[in-house]
Amino acid sequence: MSAQPQPGATVSNPVIPGFHPDPSVCRVGDDYYLVCSSFEYFPGIPVFHSRDLVHWTQLGNALERPSQLCLPREMPSSGGIFAPTLRHHDGRFWLIVTNVGDGGNLLFTATDPAGPWSDPIRLPGVHGIDPDLAWDEDGTCWVTVAGVSQVRLDLATGETLGEPHRVWSGTPGALAPEAPHLYRIGDYWYLMIAEGGTERGHAVSIARGRAPDGPFEPCPANPILTHRSTHRPIQNTGHADLVQAPDGSWCLVLLGVRPGGGTPGWHVLGRETFLAPVEWVDGWPVVGEVALELPAPAWPLHPVPAEPARDEFDDAELHPRWISVRERSQSMCTTKERSGWLTLRAAGASPDEPDVVFVGHRQQHLSCRARTLIDPTDGRGGLAVRLDEEHHYEIEAADGEVKVYARIGPLRTEVATRAVPAGAVVLGVEIAPEPPRGSRTGPDVLSFGIEEPDGTFTVLADLAGRYLSTEVAGGFTGRVIGMYAAAGTVHFDHFDYEPLQLP
């Protein structure tokens, strides 16, 4: 059901919260489709749908078969799937992306963005990351990559036509020109890029020319978007994509982060997808404010139902929001063995290992709670909050005992233990802002514990959240909360995730 926005109405940013970076968007009729990077997680490239650019529903994942996505065990975290571009052309959806762990640049197609998507066409002649697709009037396809360089492409074979050539690469001396997108708008071809690195210096700049391969004239107001050297609550703004609404107005989707705590500020959810309005002045885009609350757009809004707080694992297949580390096989992860339960069989012995059997979903709220009922009778496993192999916290159950572990860089330590009756136990974590203590205040505190038979939650350990942040760990991902097996076979009856409403 749609609703016309009331005067003065606002909408919330980010429009897709949590670890959803590098957004790319296209419109087909009244429908918008958006994809994001997924790095070392399987399945890869979440695909979203919206009717208003504000409310989004995940349709699936573009890369859901091993024939589409190989993430080798030796590939480090924050490798894998970088910066997809999604476009619709000639009645078909086109998805181009870099897999830095296997094969470089890949091209996929689908007639329905919900899938199935094709197996990849490999592009050995397309070098670099962050590939973009654009077509000129005669049907020639241009691929532009970070750097910034450009080459023509035969879509049927994946072969390049001619030699790559350098094109406009942003502000002279600017760090890391990347995330190029090429558009035909009016009489000009516009080349929009990110520059300044994906940290606090991130920015968006643009140039225009009369031909898709330039020469390009830079916008005199570059960068057209940056939050560097500000105290705005949204930082690292960049890696953007333009889209036009049916009424002729324009918007920008982009990545940003919400740092918390004192100096230097830690972001823990990863880079998220934000929305910004765009106006055109003298042939150049002018980006409106990127804020936590935006004026509602003029077109009708189409709210979508909230996801249920609890997953009972009653379906034969997992919801597309669930992701695993590098791979997921039916032999290691299934809802079909015990009705209404998720069954995990261990490979790696803990979340320290690159082949840990783990099923989680992105943390999407700065304050939230998660609970799961685990039966560890035949094994050992638990509930983890993961950033990568060297930065994670978990609460683990086995042999009538529950333990809390912390892994921070080279240090792994047991921080709490509690005896419990043998059999099933409810494990939980609650995440809330750290109480203020000046400039050294961290972003949040993670409280791990168990749910008692009367429903009360007993905290076994409070752990500082800053150590599960990008500013400490590095990399490109955000927190993922989920279940894992560390030995034998463990079963999970349900998983609850919900935001916390704090005073």
Residues annotated as catalytic are: 22, 178
Dist CA 151 CA 24 (whole Å): 20
- Contacts of residue 320, defined as CB under 8 A and 6 or more positions apart, other chains included, come to 43, 46, 58, 59, 60, 61
Task: Count Cβ neighbours within 10 Å for each residue of 113-131 and write b for 16 or more, e otherwise.
Answer: bbbebbebbebebbebbbb
Dist CA 256 CA 208 (whole Å): 25
Dist CA 426 CA 289 (whole Å): 44
Closest CA to 259 of 285, 236, 238: 236
Dist CA 123 CA 120 (whole Å): 9
DSSP assignments along 132-172, one per residue: EEEE-TT--EEEEETTTEEEEE-TTT--EEEEEEE---SST
Dist CA 203 CA 176 (whole Å): 10
Which phi and psi angles does 271 have, rounded to 5°? -85, 130
Closest CA to 198 of 233, 166, 167, 227: 227
- Contacts of residue 356, defined as CB under 8 A and 6 or more positions apart, other chains included, come to 325, 347, 348, 350, 484, 486
Other CB atoms within 10 Å distance of the CB of residue 500: 13
3-state secondary structure of 16: strand
Under 8 Å between Cβ of 50 and 267: no
Dist CA 33 CA 93 (whole Å): 10
The partner residues of 195 in beta bridges, in order of sequence, read: 203
3-state secondary structure of 350: coil
- DSSP 8-state class, residue 260: B
What H or E segment, with its residue span, contains residue 470? Answer: helix 470-473
How does strand 310-311 pair with strand 480-499? antiparallel
Dmax over CA atoms of the chain, in Å, equals 73
Under 8 Å between Cβ of 202 and 178: no
Closest CA to 426 of 405, 450, 442: 450
What single-letter amino acid sits at 447? S
Closest CA to 405 of 373, 446, 376, 440: 446
What single-letter amino acid sits at 54? V
